[in-house]
Amino acid sequence: MLGCCRTPGGCNLQYVFFTPFVVLLPEVTINYRHGLPVITLTLPTRRERCQFAVKPMVATVGAFLKDVQREDKGIVKAEVFATDGSKVSDATLMEVLLRNDFKLLINSTAYSVSPPVKDKLSSEHATEMEDIKSLIHRLFVALHLEDHQIRKERELLQKLDHLKEQLMPLEQVGRRGIQPSRNAKTSRLLWVGLALMSTQGGALAWLTWWVYSWDIMEPVTYFITYGSAMAFYAYFVLTKQDYLYPDVKDRQFLHYFYRKSKAKHFNVEQYNKLKEDVAEVFKYSP
């Protein structure tokens, strides 16, 4: 009787001759050899016993069935079912399939398969294997970390150069046509506010001591103070900010900046996005 040994992944077949005596074997058997499960079944066309060594952690049910069909072109249909009759997905790992009994359907013939119980690793051996895996992982990281850092740094520098090229024309427009005028405008508004407050104080003093008396001007100053409080409260209602001079200055600064940017066709949103990208590159750069 002629037999063959088949391993998934396109390995060459090895043919050996068995003894001439007839030995009654189950149609599908599973044995572990060198730690890997070896599935032995009879090919329906040539009636040969063929062995398939699978890698349970990597191979899937679909890959195993394709190997079986590739070995015997006469196999039209190959499927795997659970013992309750439900079909096993082709994406299921062989490791999961071999945990329980299942049925292998080849053409119109169904075979009941009972995988052997694999000896479980002792706790000491399992701990040793985990230590070895951890050591291999650390060695891999140590060997490839420097290359990864160099490649990452090169990518960040290229991205930074590209962002600076995009920022340069926008910053030139801002420095030449927007920033000087907006600074002057904000400063001028501050001086105007100081002049108005000084004028108001001088007018009240003149009316109090030279034109009228304090008894007449006291209600006037009260309503001026109350009106100022109402104006500050209205500012808070409209802007959701307290009336603090630094905040007012910044708000007026931004208001004039956006108005001037629109006149100069300066894309503020693009500029802010580029600045954020540059800051992010500096954040992740080594």
In tens digits, what is the pLDDT along the chain, a chain of 286 residues?
334 544 444 443 333 334 333 333 457 898 888 778 899 998 888 888 899 988 887 889 999 999 999 998 888 899 999 989 899 999 999 888 988 899 999 988 888 998 887 655 455 555 666 777 777 777 776 666 666 667 777 777 777 777 677 666 666 655 555 555 666 666 777 788 788 888 888 888 888 888 887 878 788 888 888 888 888 788 778 777 776 656 666 666 666 666 666 666 666 666 667 667 777 766 655 5
The domain made up of 2-113 has a fold known as Ubiquitin-like (UB roll) (3.10.20)
Tokens of 11: 């390995």
Query: What is each CA distance from 140 to 135, 143, 153, 161, 208, in whole angstroms?
Result: 9, 5, 20, 32, 87
178 with 266: CB under 8 angstroms? Answer: yes
Question: In what helix (H) or strand (E) does residue 78 lie, and over which residues does it extend?
Answer: strand 78-82
**15 — alpha (psi -120 to 50), left (phi > 0) or beta?**
beta
Rounded distance, CA 51 to CA 30, Å?
9
How high is the pLDDT of residue 212?
Answer: 81
Q: Tell me if the pTM is above 0.85.
A: no
> 226: which residues sit within 8 A by CB, 6+ positions away?
none
How high is the pLDDT of residue 81?
Answer: 93
Cβ burial 196-208 (10 Å sphere, 16+ → b, else e): eeeeeeeeeeeeb
How high is the pLDDT of residue 64?
Answer: 92
84 with 112: CB under 8 angstroms? Answer: no
The CATH 3.10.20 portion of the chain extends over: 2-113
Cβ burial 150-185 (10 Å sphere, 16+ → b, else e): eeeeeebeebeeebeeebeebeebbeebbeeebeeb
